Structure 1
Amino acid sequence: MPACLNNPSLGNHDFVHLEDVRLHYVASGQEGKPLMLLLHGFPEFWFSWRYQIPEFKKDYRVVAVDMRGYGDSGKPGKKKDYAIGNLSKDIYQLIQALGYKKCVLVGHDWGGAVAWNFAYSYTDMVEKLVIVNSPHPISFAKYLRTHFSQLKKSWYMMFFQVPFVPEFMFSMNDFAAFEAISKSLRNNPPSDDEVEAYKYAFSQPGALTGPINYYRAAFSKQTKYERAAKLKVPTLVIWGEPDKYLETNLAHEAKNYVENMTVKIIPDSSHFVLLDRPKEVNAAVREFLKDK
């Protein structure tokens, strides 16, 4: 295991047994402080938040979780196990298992999609919501139908519907795909040890199929996003641009579904802005959280 995954400054590793899956998480900050729950995206794991954990552990009990199918968390084998309702239910049970009734919820990419849905499904459990480069799921579906430019960027979502082949492609040449992704971080490229951490996490048995099943389940009938009135939870949307996968207009489209929303665009960055421009991301989150 790469040494960076056991860095004590990032917190303590632990597990929680939920109704139908065991989740691994890393917790930092004093117990009893308000909970900040961090949900990573694809292809990431809890380590995605290595620049946010030290920043916010002074004021929060910061918990970075490996979502189901990722890292050291359980990896259910069926596509339907990764429907958005199951992913949101994991967060509901996790918050309670940690001894809390609510949290500041922060999600990037797929973690953002889960955070959006969770905030609608369990509104009272979200004090504030922070979304990083993740479109509102309902606005995204509409946007895809009317913007061919975004449809082209989303080609990989269609490719992921193919059985077995995506997993094989990611594992080729000693998981070289993760080195390629790291090169997109123009301002803050990862160290060799950090790249090895991603390779290590995704080379475990079943560690590719679970994450790709998020996309497969999203196209199935099991996945239904909450369609409620405008979300009342105060929301910050952070958007790194240029994003190779998502158009910046999607950040603003979410305003149609949220009562109180702020958008922070961080230029000269990437889809992985939390890694690429962590100081700017942390400053935006801190500014948002200090407003009552």
Structure 2
Amino acid sequence: MPSVLNDPDLGTHGYVHLADVKIHYVAQGDETKPLMLFVHGFPEFWYSWRFQLREFKNDYRVVAIDMRGYGDSDKPSGVANYQMSKLVTDLKQIIPALGYRSCVLVGLDWGAVIARIFASKHPHMVDKLITMNCPRPDIIHNYLETHMFELKKVWYILFFQVPFLPELMLLVNDMKLMETTMAGPNGNLTVGTLSTEDMEAYKYALSRPGAATAVIDYYRAFIRFPPRKISKISCPLLVIWGCKDMILDRDMSAAAAAVVDNQTVKYIEEAGHWVMMDTPDIVNKHMRDFLK
């Protein structure tokens, strides 16, 4: 295991046992403080929230999870195990398993999609919601229908429906595809944001047995089991958007305003898709201002 994953300043490792999976998490902060729960996206794991774990540990019980299929969490086989209803149910079980009734919920990418649906279905369990660089799933679908030029950017969603080959593509050549996508010259992070040790941590997480198939099964399940239309989000919502995202257009960020009672959008021009790693100081300030 890469040494950066055992940094005691990031917190302690633990597990919660849910109805059908075991979920790994890293936690920091006083357990009597409110819960701030972090949900990552593809192809990540809990470590993506390292800057926020350090920033908010004095004010919250900060917990970053490995979603099912990722990192040290269980990786059940079968596409059906990664449909949205399962992922939302995981969050519903995780919060009380950690000893809380509600939380400040923070998500990026797939984590943002899941967090939005969860907040709409279980509003009493979300005090405030913060999402980054991914809108609601129905907004993605509708936006792509009317912005056909975006389709060439998301070709990988269709490619991921193919059996076996996507997994092979992710893993070959020492996971060069993930490395260039995240931190290459044309990647979604500013060059130099990830150290060599950081990149090794991401490779380590994706190399766990069954992980490559599980993380791609999120995309397969999204097509085979599309989520139903979700209800209006009633809790305050902060959307943080890195405008150098190579895949998702910034116009998507505000497109859901009509189905949110109280939405604030903050654009960060110099940040890419993984905005919380690219410009952590700016992201943390926006979060603090919102949480006040």
What is the DSSP-based 3-state SS (H/G/I as helix, E as strand, rest coil) of the residue aligned with 2:267? strand
**C-alpha contact 1:188 1:276 (8 A) present in aligned 2:** no
What is the DSSP-based 3-state SS (H/G/I as helix, E as strand, rest coil) of the residue aligned with 1:52? helix
Query: Aligned pair count?
Result: 288
Give the CA deviation at 1:29: 0.5
Aligned counterparts of 1:100 and 1:274: Cα–Cα separation in 2: 25
The aligned residue for residue 251 of structure 1 is 253
Alignment of 1:142-181 (within 5 A): 142-180=142-180, 181=182
Aligned counterparts of 1:242 and 1:175: Cα–Cα separation in 2: 23
Q: Which piece of structure 1 moves more, 200-209 or 61-70?
A: 200-209
Aligned counterparts of 2:233 and 2:262: Cα–Cα separation in 1: 8
What is the DSSP-based 3-state SS (H/G/I as helix, E as strand, rest coil) of the residue aligned with 2:256? helix
Give the CA deviation at 1:144: 1.2
Pick from 243, 258, 277 the counterpart of residue 279 of structure 2: 277
Cα deviations by residue, 1:88-114 (Å, 9 ceiling, x for unpaired) = 000000001011000000000000010
User: CA 1:225/1:283 → structure 2, altered by over 3 Å: closer, same or farther?
Assistant: farther
The TM-score normalised by the length of structure 2 is 0.96
Aligned counterparts of 2:157 and 2:191: Cα–Cα separation in 1: 27
What is the DSSP-based 3-state SS (H/G/I as helix, E as strand, rest coil) of the residue aligned with 1:208? helix
Aligned counterparts of 1:77 and 1:127: Cα–Cα separation in 2: 33
Aligned counterparts of 1:143 and 1:149: Cα–Cα separation in 2: 10
Aligned counterparts of 2:259 and 2:85: Cα–Cα separation in 1: 19
**C-alpha contact 1:235 1:260 (8 A) present in aligned 2:** yes
Aligned counterparts of 1:191 and 1:117: Cα–Cα separation in 2: 33
Matched, 1:227 2:259: no
User: Residue type of the partner of 1:243?
Assistant: D
What is the DSSP-based 3-state SS (H/G/I as helix, E as strand, rest coil) of the residue aligned with 1:274? helix
Give the CA deviation at 1:188: 4.9
Structure 2: 5+ residue runs without aligned partners? none
Pick from 249, 264, 267 the counterpart of residue 266 of structure 2: 264
Matched, 1:199 2:203: yes
Give the CA deviation at 1:149: 1.8
**C-alpha contact 1:116 1:137 (8 A) present in aligned 2:** no
**C-alpha contact 1:106 1:115 (8 A) present in aligned 2:** yes
Aligned counterparts of 1:112 and 1:268: Cα–Cα separation in 2: 20
Aligned counterparts of 1:156 and 1:45: Cα–Cα separation in 2: 20
The aligned residue for residue 218 of structure 2 is 214
The aligned residue for residue 9 of structure 1 is 9
**C-alpha contact 2:241 2:265 (8 A) present in aligned 1:** yes
What is the DSSP-based 3-state SS (H/G/I as helix, E as strand, rest coil) of the residue aligned with 1:14? strand
Give the CA deviation at 1:177: 2.0
Identity of aligned residues (%): 51
**C-alpha contact 1:188 1:277 (8 A) present in aligned 2:** no
**C-alpha contact 1:187 1:276 (8 A) present in aligned 2:** no
Aligned counterparts of 1:103 and 1:154: Cα–Cα separation in 2: 32
Alignment of 1:4-43 (within 5 A): 4-43=4-43
**C-alpha contact 1:107 1:115 (8 A) present in aligned 2:** yes
